[in-house]
Amino acid sequence: AQSVTQPDIHITVSEGASLELRCNYSYGATPYLFWYVQSPGQGLQLLLKYFSGDTLVQGIKGFEAEFKRSQSSFNLRKPSVHWSDAAEYFCAVGPSLSGGYNKLIFGAGTRLAVHP
Amino acid sequence: ETGVTQTPRHLVMGMTNKKSLKCEQHLGHNAMYWYKQSAKKPLELMFVYSLEERVENNSVPSRFSPECPNSSHLFLHLHTLQPEDSALYLCASSQDWGSGVSTDTQYFGPGTRLTVL
């Protein structure tokens, strides 16, 4: 079955520190992978996506993610975190094998807190 | 207005009430989605409409009734809800549902926070 696992429910980092959020997936074919961010009271905003090609993907707000097929991972990174990065981050995989090209499977999310 | 908008942003209703959530996308997209986001659970896809036709219904109880009158508007009609239906309901849109070529990015609205008493 397809699934997305975000092992860390909560992460706290200091402002200026580096960040890595983990995402592991289980998928029967080449996946499409996404990272979304949700600020309090807001909807989800796309940070970056991987469809094919270069396995290191650059996104908005200084984020990047690396697709590692051998590890079934798509970890999100940022070299220096800002207080405004405090939010919840969701990894998603698609399309769903059960039908529908745009049916995404989401992880449970990682809540990021940033200390000054 | 740009992107995906949702109204109301907050809604409190009793179990016997009937209410509707509204979503509007200003992106010229052909596909629209309803998701349910409950605390400590992954996002759950509820319904998908493509070109105003429902193409996905994820075993959602009949007390939730979607409507898509045109490609820009999507409604979720609610009646006789249960307290466990309290959640953030998110609307999203994408260029297409199934292009056969690639997965289109989904753009999300801010959500409606629903509380059922």
Between B41, B42, B98, which is nearest A102 by CB? Answer: B98
Taking only residues 50 to 89 of chain A, the set having a beta carbon closer than 8 angstroms to any beta carbon of chain B reads: 51
Which residue's structure tokens are 């200003």? B26
In this prediction, residues A13-29 reach a mean pLDDT of 93
Q: B-chain residues within 8 Å CB-CB of A94?
A: 103
Flag if B107 and A51 touch (Cβ within 8 Å).
Answer: no
Flag if A102 and B31 touch (Cβ within 8 Å).
Answer: yes
Query: What's residue A53's pLDDT?
Result: 85
SS3 A53: coil
Give the span between the Cα atoms of B12 and A18, in whole angstroms: 40
Q: How confident is the model at residue B1 (pLDDT cuts 50, 70, 90)?
A: low
Between A45, A100, A108, which is nearest B97 by CB? Answer: A100
Residue among A28, A43, A49, A32 nearest A88 (CA): A43
The DSSP H or E segment spanning B12 is: strand B10-13
Flag if A94 and B103 touch (Cβ within 8 Å).
Answer: yes
| Structure tokens given for A7 | 């092992």
Q: Tell me the pairing of strands B87-94 and B73-79.
A: unpaired
For B89, which residue in chain A has the nearest alpha carbon?
A43
pLDDT digit string, tens, across residues B36-71? 999 878 899 999 998 888 887 778 999 999 999 999
Which residues make Cβ contacts (< 8 Å) with residue B3, sequence separation at least 6? B25, B26, B27, B107, B109
Q: In degrees, to the nearest 5, what angle opens at C-alpha A46 toward C-alphas B73 and A5?
A: 110
Q: B-chain residues within 8 Å CB-CB of A90?
A: 43
Q: Give the sign of the dihedral formed by CA B22, CA B26, CA B29, CA B30.
A: positive
pLDDT digit string, tens, across residues B81-103? 999 999 999 999 988 776 544 45
In this prediction, residues A81-86 reach a mean pLDDT of 96
Flag if A101 and B97 touch (Cβ within 8 Å).
Answer: yes
Residue among A112, A35, A44, A18 nearest A74 (CA): A35
Q: Is A106 on the interface with B (CB under 8 A)?
A: yes
SS3 A69: helix
Residue B32, judged by CB atoms within 10 A of its CB (0-12, 13-18, 19+), counts as buried
Give the span between the Cα atoms of B71 and A110, in whole angstroms: 33
Distance of CA A7 to the CA centre of its chain: 12
Between A4, A34, A43, which is nearest B110 by CB? Answer: A43
Query: What's residue B98's pLDDT?
Result: 64
SS3 B37: strand
